[in-house]
Structure 1
Amino acid sequence: MPTVPSQTRKELAGGVAYAFGGQHFDAPADLDIQTAAEAATVPLSVILQVTKRCNFDCSFCSEIMQKPDPTLDQLDTIRQNLAGVGRVFLSGGEPLMRKDFSEIVDIYHPHHIVAVPTNATHGLDHARNIAGKIAYANIGLEGPRGTTNRVRGNYDLVMPGVRALQAAGIPLALSAVVYRSTLNALPFTVQIADVLDAGKVKFIMPLKKGNAEKLPDHEFISHEEADDAFARLKALRAEHQWSPALRLTKWTPENEGHMICIEPDGKAQAWPVYDAPDLFEYLGNVLEEPINAIWQRYRFKVNHFSKYLGRSIHTVNQGV
């Protein structure tokens, strides 16, 4: 069986490290975020869409505009222009729909920490070939079968792929989008993550873009409701001794624009920028210029560092 990445930490610049076991960036508690962000020459993490295609039609999905897949040569050019970036999410759409996905991983894993957000439905196709090369697979799952089927897609297509990734020794995380109608399912999501030995569960609020434009207003919970839900999960985690770390991202001014998303045509965008069309703010194109040039004109550096270092989101780490 292929082995998972053997290192437990990878030291990056400015006192920041990546903790593989915890699947997160780490820094001393007294690190001055603004100073670190201003001193950085590249982002900590980027999201690279290797496809816009997907076999699900999630009710919250923002990726409804299609673009052609980048070629392997284009992806290698992007990789060269991402020199120095700590982590690259090979994302989509559904990235594992690409038959050459393992070749894409081979392009990136010698140079970056690689993580893969996926619905896992094509996990059987790729698990053995990407094992030992990716830090973890982040599985989109809203909890029990009925909830996942209603919000995202087919639970019974997801789970065989999850088991294939797990059998190959690939570390797992779960990611769930939170509606008002899914609040009661959240403890079950954490229980599933615990059974799967997942490193963390990320809870994310939906944004009104794409399919989510059609969601009724009552499905969007307030920040106060999100705080209460996270507090309940934290208490249940302690009571039931669940092991996964917990994360909750709310869309506050401190989190605006914190992600750098690279589309299949190389366009780098800050996301989510609340007053921008489609919540995207164009930064440049990594098929044409290096990421350090794009980083210089990126105006959300402090938000980027704050989010990825867990300072602007709710967090409960493993062992806490």
Structure 2
Amino acid sequence: MTDLGIPTIPQQQHRDIGGGVGYAFNGQHFTIDPDADLDQVAATLHHPLSVIVQVTKRCNMDCGFCSEILQMPDPSLEQLATMQRSLDGVNRVFLSGGEPLFRKDFGDIVDIFHDGGHIVAVPTNAVYAKLHAPRMVGKVAYANVGLEGPRAITTRMRGDYDDIMAGVRAFQEHGIPLAMSAVVYRSSLTALPFTAQIGDVIGATKVKLILPLRKGNALGLPEHEFITQDEALAAFSRLEEKAAELQWSPALRMTTWTPENEGHMIVVEPNGTARAWPVYDAKDLWEDLGNVLEEPITEIWKRYRFKRNHLSKYVGRSIHTTAQGALTGKK
């Protein structure tokens, strides 16, 4: 039972996707045989493992690192239903933004994709969680809350820490599993242990650390806020040591922008345009792939040129990670 007396719906623990790939619900990540050949497995896939659908570009915050500042009209529920049908066979769909919970009809959007058989995840700043959490119960595999760490750091980089934490409590009260994402500046490196500790306290399955990309608001960041690859690896190594010492429960993950991660994400904008992201030599880091309002994702996947990078990133081969619970003995 949740704190509100809502029955907790048992989560499926594992889904077999095929080709040696699976999805672990207890850690909210894709799995693969450690000896599997990525090129061979990628050649067997007919769909992406995961797709990001921007249900809106609007947001209630104005994060200094945000790449998605260009506005366009929200898709209608009918258009989103068409997108869902086009994405048939995709295992996980992120209902993203902008801020997805900014839409008053977000519960209806969740229904469309959950009923379509997708694993639904929601990246969010959590400010509107209290409004939407009741409709998300049993349908959203996890909410991924953006939170850079302590109050002063989060408020400076993203928005009001207390509003975000109120949303986190609303998700907890409804039994919705949590993960965390934190964008890393040079000036926030010292906060990373506190960020991981917050993830441990709220019961997050994972804490994902992401470096900003030079697009949108991030074009205005001082150059010294962008850390190098070597600095990122050193920071992650120190965090691993702290995790072992302090026995944090969440898996720690860091994505750095290397050739192995280029173009690994497929993002569907509100108008249905599917793009590979980030493509380093492309305008705005986007590479057009097609439109899911006009053709199915299977056709777009055929001409997608980052299949290996997509698979490698999502099964954890091209990111830095610690296993959830490995440091505490949890399973």
Fold-level similarity (TM above 0.5): yes
Q: Which residue of 2 aligns with 1:315?
A: 321
Answering whether residue 75 of structure 2 is matched by residue 70 of structure 1, we say yes
Structure 1 stretches of 4+ moved >3 Å: none
Once the 2 structures are TM-superposed, how far is the Cα of residue 2 of structure 1 from its aligned partner?
A: 4.5
Contact kept in structure 2, 1:2 and 1:128, CA below 8 Å: no
Q: Which residue of 2 aligns with 1:227?
A: 233
Q: Which residue of 1 aligns with 2:245?
A: 239
1:1-320 paired onto structure 2 within 5 Å: 1-4=6-9, 6-110=11-115, 111-320=117-326
Q: Distance in 1 between matches of 2:10 and 2:66?
A: 31
Once the 2 structures are TM-superposed, how far is the Cα of residue 319 of structure 1 from its aligned partner?
A: 2.2
Once the 2 structures are TM-superposed, how far is the Cα of residue 15 of structure 1 from its aligned partner?
A: 1.2
Aligned with 2:209: secondary structure? strand
Q: Distance in 2 between matches of 1:313 and 1:319?
A: 18
Aligned with 1:58: secondary structure? coil
Q: Distance in 1 between matches of 2:151 and 2:242?
A: 21
Aligned AA for 1:21? N
Q: Distance in 2 between matches of 1:90 and 1:166?
A: 19
- 1:145-174 Cα shifts (integer Å, max 9, x gaps): 000011011111111111001110000000
TM norm structure 2: 0.96
Structure 1, unmatched stretches of 5+, are: none
Q: Distance in 2 between matches of 1:71 and 1:154?
A: 30
Aligned residues: 320
Aligned with 1:160: secondary structure? helix
TM norm structure 1: 0.99
Structure 2, unmatched stretches of 5+, are: 1-5, 327-331
The alignment's C-alpha RMSD in Å is 0.7
Contact kept in structure 2, 1:91 and 1:118, CA below 8 Å: yes
Q: Distance in 2 between matches of 1:134 and 1:173?
A: 12
Q: Distance in 2 between matches of 1:240 and 1:303?
A: 33
Q: Distance in 1 between matches of 2:298 and 2:156?
A: 41
- 1:118-165 Cα shifts (integer Å, max 9, x gaps): 000000001111111111000000000000011011111111111001
Aligned with 2:267: secondary structure? strand
Aligned AA for 2:54? Q
Aligned AA for 1:58? C
Once the 2 structures are TM-superposed, how far is the Cα of residue 3 of structure 1 from its aligned partner?
A: 2.8
Q: Distance in 2 between matches of 1:59 and 1:38?
A: 39
Q: Distance in 2 between matches of 1:243 and 1:234?
A: 12
Which of 29-38 and 304-313 deviates more?
29-38
Q: Distance in 1 between matches of 2:164 and 2:42?
A: 38
Aligned AA for 1:221? I
Q: Distance in 1 between matches of 2:9 and 2:101?
A: 19
